[in-house]
Each structure stands twice: as C-alpha cells, then as structure tokens.
Structure 1
Amino acid sequence: MQDRLSWAQSACARVMRPLVRLALGMGLKHPHLETMLRDLLLDEATRLWQRQGVASPNISQLAVTTGLNRKDVTARVRRPADPLPHTELSAAAKTFTRWFQLASQDPALQRLPVASTGQGLSFEDVAREASRGDVHHRAVLDELMRLGMCVRVDSAQVELTSEGFVPTADLQSTLAFLGDNLRDHAGAAVSNALGEGPLMLERAVFADGLSETDCDMVHQLMRQRWTAMHRELVGVLSEAITRNGAQGPKRLRVGIYLYQGDREGEPE
C-alpha cells in the first residue's frame, strides 16, 4: 500500500510540475494553490461518492475521503465560481469551427460577405447556424477579430486567417484553452490508469539526443499531419452532431501535442 501511495504521489508531482511553473509565472503563491487544492479535493470527493450512489455525501464522509478536517469541509461546501470561459460552449468557437469546415470543403468560402445578401453564403448565415441565433453575428465577428481568428478585408467582407481556434492574442482565452485541453488529456490518462472504463487513446513517442534542426523538422511534420487530420475530424464530428440533432449525451475532445526541452537538467 505504501508503494502505491508513493507511486501515485510521484506521478502527481510530475504532472503538477509544469502547472506549478505556470502558477509561479502568473504570480500565484502557496495560499492560492492551497485554497485551490482544497476546493478540488472536496469537489472530486463529492463526485467520487456520487458515482458510488451517494447523492449528497455528508461532512464526515467528505472529511474521511479528503483528509480535510470537518470545519474546513463545512466552510467549503459551496463550489467556487470558475472565472474562465468554457471553450467548447462559446458562439465564437462554434462559428469558427463551422466556418473552418465549410472553407475546407470550398476554399472560396474562406472569404465571406459579413451580412447576408440572399446571394450565397455569408458570415451572418454561418454565425446564425452555429450559434442557433442566440448571439448577433456582429458580436461573434467582433470576438473572432479580437482573438485574431479572422480579419476584415473591407467594410463588407471578412476572411478566415487561422487554421485552429487557439486565441493566443487573449490571455484569458489562452488560459481557458490550456485548462480545458490539459484537463481532458490528463482525464484520459487517469481514466486508463484507474481502469474506469474502456481504454482511451493516449499515446506518445519520446526521443533524446536530437539537434534543434531535428526537433524543428518533426514539429513541422506534426503540424502538417495535424492540419489534414483536423480538417477530417471537423467534417466527421460536424456530420455526427447534425445527425444527432446536437442532442447526444457524450462529449469528445481530440488533440495533439509536442514538447521540446533540454536533455540535461530536465527535472524528473
């Protein structure tokens, strides 16, 4: 049992090291991280009990599971609000994905008139379809332009300029994507390790002794392969969402990553 705890602690430390680097780089201190960890422990413990059929675990159950004292559990029964947006829910993300799919099928659609004219597809049409009319198309366009996803050609036309919805021009959105992507990547690995269900795809290739040129070559290769796969996935998933009337019970995130670092001095 002690070995099991030690192994788990070591695995958590490896996963958390870059997150601690992010926290320090953004100015977070130990009290911020301690508060966050206590909240996460309580939240995940509640989910654990609920999966075991206990709809509302009591204070004692949560205290035993988390190791927090009863007073601390009582003070944290309310889940804190998340200040970051949910990346998969925004009208801008949905509009970008739909526009990207259409432009992949017909490159001429990479440039669209902003407003509907009744003579061919417009950005207004795409935004209305993607957001189901819940958000005005000009608000969606403003957000995509702010995030650097598209640019105005002139007062009447707009052009898609990105091949992926990764808004690096906005820190809040960048951190939201970082959180969502790493959460689901780690979620797949943890589910596999705990045997919570059928094994999910989670693979990587490691090599050392490489030159900077070697790394750049592989990086470019993976970008090219991902671009092709991304276009195919968008088409397949969009068709599935349409077929299910967007009412299916499951969600899916597919991603890819490449990390390049120094061979010596890399922390374990």
Structure 2
Amino acid sequence: MSPTDPAAAHPGPADALAEALRRLLGPLARLALARGVTHATLDELVKLALVDAADRQHAELPPHRRVSRISTATGIHRREVTRLVGALREGGARQPPPQRSLASELFAHWRTQRDYCDRRGSPAELPRQGPAPSFESLAQAITRDVHPRSLLDELQRLGLAAHDTGRDTVRLLREDFVPSGDSRRMLRALGNNVGDHLEAAVDNVLAEAPRHFEQAVFAGGLSRESVAELDRLLRARWSELVDALVPALEQLVARDAAAAQAADQQAASQGGPADPSIHPARQRVRLGLYALAQDESAPDAPEPPR
C-alpha cells in the first residue's frame, strides 16, 4: 500500500504534465460521449476555460493589451480571443448567483442533530407536524421562507425521504445525500465536488507549499469481497466524520454571522463602514471524501509501484 497514487515511472515535468492531463481528460471524454457531447462543444469549452483563466491572470491590463497577452499565453488568435472574452462577459452577466441547497441542509441537520435522532444516533422517524422534534420544526430550523410541505415534497422527489400517510410520519431512506433519478442535480454535484477538488489539487501543484489538505491512500491486489468490506468501513467512518463536522460547521457559521452582524451594528451606530479587520471577507469550504474501486486491468487503472 502507498500513501499516494503510484506513478509508473519518473518522467520529466512535461511528460508528467501530459500524463496528468490525459488521466483528467479520460473520464471527461467518457462522460461527454455518454451524453452525446461532440468535439466541437468540448473544443469551445476548453477555449473558453483557457481564455477565462488567462483573462483573470491579467485583469490589471487595459482591454487592448489584455487581448494580446491572452492570445500569446493561450495560442488562440486575437479575433477569437475577443469573441470568447465577449461570450464570457455576456455569460457571466446572465449567470444567477448560486442558491442554497435547502434539501441538503435539512438532510444534514436531520442526520446530526441529537434531538432528531434515535438512541442509536440514527435519524429518527418524525411526526410530520407539531412541536419539536417534528419534520415541521426541522424544516423551520433551516428556513421559514419555504413551507415544510414543499421541502418534504422535494426530499420525496429526490428519493431521500418517505411519508407514511397513515401515521403521518416522515423518515429518511438513505444515509448519504445522493439524489436518485435526478440527472441535473447529480451533474451539478459532479461539477461542484470534482471542480473544487481539482481547484485544491492545482493550487497545491502551483503554490510553493501545499495550501489545501489533500491526501489519499492506494492499495492493489484486493478481492471483490475485501473491497465490499472496505466500502462498509469507509461509509461508517464517513458517517462518523459528518456527525462531527456538521455541528461544528453550523456553530462556526453562526458565530461568524453574529460577529458580522455586531460589526455592522457598530458601524451603523458610528455612522461609518464596518472595520475590515472585524468584518473580513467571507470564505467558503467544501470537505469531501471519495473512493474508487476498479479492476486492475481497466484502461485508466494506475500501475502498481515498481
């Protein structure tokens, strides 16, 4: 077993980069083919991504110089760069701000709040209405802008919860928030989760010292039975980690929100803007865990260490 994914050899920087890009592009190509995305669409997306990254790196330059710099950095013709920059500006203006996933917040709250769990620590079956602990009180703890019935309908649509109409109770059907039968949401989760993981990994490669926590372990020569046993262990450990992290995250969010509110109130009372050191820029975090099990003969399987 190795603490990191093994490399088949020790190639030079250019060869290592090409191999890394090949490994990254392989799964994307498989997804594109499965969904009927052609080379022309992928080519446009790659060019947009290159121009967007170069545009951000040279944001301090005036527009005419920036186009030249982007063209030089990307190898894309100036006229094409101008078109792509315009498309990025237009698309960014129309892009709506990211919305909260109330369903996932409710799901996490239900799984981790002791008042809504049974003696074993599992999410309890709840009366749909009434005082806490009930589904109604749980939903209202997340938001009062959406009716609890609407949140229940959404959980049922995603295959995450069931409503016993006879007893008028609600129970969770899954231990993890992986909506079934919702391709749009699953693709959004793919982009968010893998995108942020890749952002962290690229930051670590480009920075002088690693900026983000990123670790993995690798093992080969396992039977299917051993992989199934490992899967059960991993899911149990992830459940324990979620149970510890979600309440801690909720406390940190509430603490920082209270501090920001206090800073705003202080500034309002003094008739000026809030002190930036008291009211800093907001940060976001995404914490995740993944596992892949595949035959060692699979085309994209990493070679064992030599």
* TM-score computed with the length of structure 1 as normaliser: 0.85
Q: Which amino acid aligns with 2:224?
A: E
Q: Which amino acid aligns with 1:218?
A: L
Partner residue of 1:143?
154
Partner residue of 2:177?
165
Alignment length, in residue pairs? 260
Q: Which amino acid aligns with 1:204?
A: A
Aligned counterparts of 1:158 and 1:95: Cα–Cα separation in 2: 13
State the identity %.
33
Aligned counterparts of 1:140 and 1:70: Cα–Cα separation in 2: 49
Q: Secondary structure at the match of 2:171?
A: strand
- Flag structure 2 segments of 5+ consecutive residues without an equivalent: 1-11, 261-280
Larger displacement relative to structure 2 (75-84 or 159-168): 75-84
Aligned counterparts of 2:97 and 2:298: Cα–Cα separation in 1: 36
Per-residue CA shift, 1:214-254, capped at 9, x if unaligned?
Answer: 21111111111111111111111111111112867111111
Q: Which amino acid aligns with 1:159?
A: R
Partner residue of 1:258?
291
Partner residue of 1:72?
80
Partner residue of 1:179?
191
Q: Which amino acid aligns with 2:43?
A: E
Shift of 1:54: 4.8
Shift of 1:141: 1.8
Q: Secondary structure at the match of 1:224?
A: helix
Q: Name which structure has the greater RCO, CA cutoff 8 Å, separation 6+.
A: 2
Q: 2:39 aligns with which of 9, 30, 49?
A: 30
Larger displacement relative to structure 2 (76-85 or 177-186): 76-85
Q: Secondary structure at the match of 1:126?
A: helix
Per-residue CA shift, 1:91-124, capped at 9, x if unaligned?
Answer: 2222222222225863276323334x3x323333
Partner residue of 2:269?
none
Shift of 1:58: 2.8
**Contact 2:127 2:169 survives alignment (8 Å):** yes
Pair 1:154-2:165 in alignment: yes
**Contact 2:127 2:135 survives alignment (8 Å):** yes
Aligned counterparts of 2:254 and 2:198: Cα–Cα separation in 1: 29
Equivalent residue runs for 1:105-116 within 5 Å: 106-107=117-118, 110-115=124-129
Larger displacement relative to structure 2 (177-186 or 88-97): 88-97
Q: Which amino acid aligns with 1:167?
A: P
- Flag structure 1 segments of 5+ consecutive residues without an equivalent: none
Shift of 1:30: 0.7
Q: Which amino acid aligns with 1:94?
A: E
Q: 2:139 aligns with which of 92, 105, 127?
A: 127
Larger displacement relative to structure 2 (144-153 or 4-13): 4-13
Aligned counterparts of 2:45 and 2:127: Cα–Cα separation in 1: 46
Q: Considering only aligned residues, what root-mean-square deviation do their CA atoms show, in Å?
A: 2.8
Q: 1:165 to 1:6 in 2, by over 3 A?
A: same
**Contact 1:46 1:62 survives alignment (8 Å):** yes
Aligned counterparts of 2:231 and 2:71: Cα–Cα separation in 1: 46
Aligned counterparts of 1:196 and 1:165: Cα–Cα separation in 2: 36
4+ residue segments displaced more than 6 Å: 81-85
Q: 1:33 to 1:103 in 2, by over 3 A?
A: farther
Q: 1:161 to 1:55 in 2, by over 3 A?
A: farther
